[in-house]
Amino acid sequence: MERTEFLDLHVPGSPLILPNAWDAGAARMLESLGFSAVATTSSGFAATLARRDGGLSRDEALENCAAIVAATSLPVNADLENGYSDDPAGVAETVALAAETGVAAVSVEDCSAASGGRVYELSHAAERIAAAAEAARGAAQLVIVGRAENFLQGVPDLADTIARLQAYQEAGADVLYAPGLTSAADIRAVVSSVDRPVNVLATGACPSVEVLAELGAARVSVGGALAFTAYAAAAEAARELLGSGTYGYLPQAAAGRAIAEAAFD
């Protein structure tokens, strides 16, 4: 899919619902349900390797991207954390490598997991987005998503978040994303302060998709939520088997098998 075609799916007021697939099978299943695009999830994929979020190498993340691209005809937005580098040149290299996997977009965070989630100084963060955007335009015309991580890192500074998103817009980001926003007022303030499509992370404290549409969101994603929902369902079934020795989970298993067989046909 061309860069402009993927961007055309981001419509303020009629947001792209972007589920996050943790592996190739999940991506194919989500396609079969009628979604228009999928994203990867670093936390969800890390869990499949018995690791916590932030525990992936760049090569592992890119291999997962390639597997998901190969499994679906949908455009794929790659969650590549901070680009697996603190410096702009390293981020640009990651974007160029991501282009080779066939993804349509790359999200770049403005904090470092290696430093415990430290948010980069603004000018440095903007330089990283500029490097990503330059690499994207030269590689395969990828969409760049600039992420401001303040709220997820315990720094709920709306003014700084908006300043960051505005700087990332100027640096060349095509889509803007501040995960962790939950109030309608904050989301409205962000949407009205930038001239790019805004992604909102759906959480339990977040308004419904219908309300997010009214607020002007152009995209709604879920992070690792679907992956961990699957883990919860599997754990509940396993506890029943271990505890009572009964099989009440089997109807749900049969439903899941039917979904998989339909998706993988």
Q: Give the DSSP letter string of 197-210.
A: -EEEE--TTSPPHH
- Average per-residue pLDDT for the chain: 96
Which helix H or strand E contains 183, and what residues bound it?
none
Please tell me whether residue 32 adopts helix, strand or coil conformation.
Answer: helix
Residue whose token pair is 């430290």: 118
pLDDT band at 177; cut points 50, 70, 90: very high
pLDDT tens, residue by residue, 184-224: 999 999 999 999 999 999 999 999 999 999 999 999 999 99
* Stated pTM of the model: 0.96
Q: Of 160, 161, 159, 194, whose CA–CA distance to 180 is shortest?
A: 161
Looking at the chain, list the stretches that DSSP marks H as alpha helix, in order from N- to C-terminal side: 3-8, 24-32, 42-48, 58-71, 88-101, 122-139, 158-171, 184-193, 209-214, 225-243, 250-263
Domain ranges in the chain are 3-224
Q: Fill in the DSSP letter of residue 19.
A: P
pLDDT at residue 1, rounded to an integer: 65
The residue type of 163 is A
Top-level CATH class of 3-224?
A: alpha beta
Exposed/middle/buried for residue 154 (C-beta within 10 Å: 0-12, 13-18, 19+)? exposed
Query: Quick one: average pLDDT of 85-92?
Result: 97
Distance CA 257, CA 10 (A): 33
CA distances from 72 to 40, 45, 47, 69, 106 (A): 12, 17, 21, 6, 17
| Percent of the chain residues topping a pLDDT of 70 | 99
Tokens at 150, concatenated = 């303040």
Query: Quick one: average pLDDT of 219-248?
Result: 98
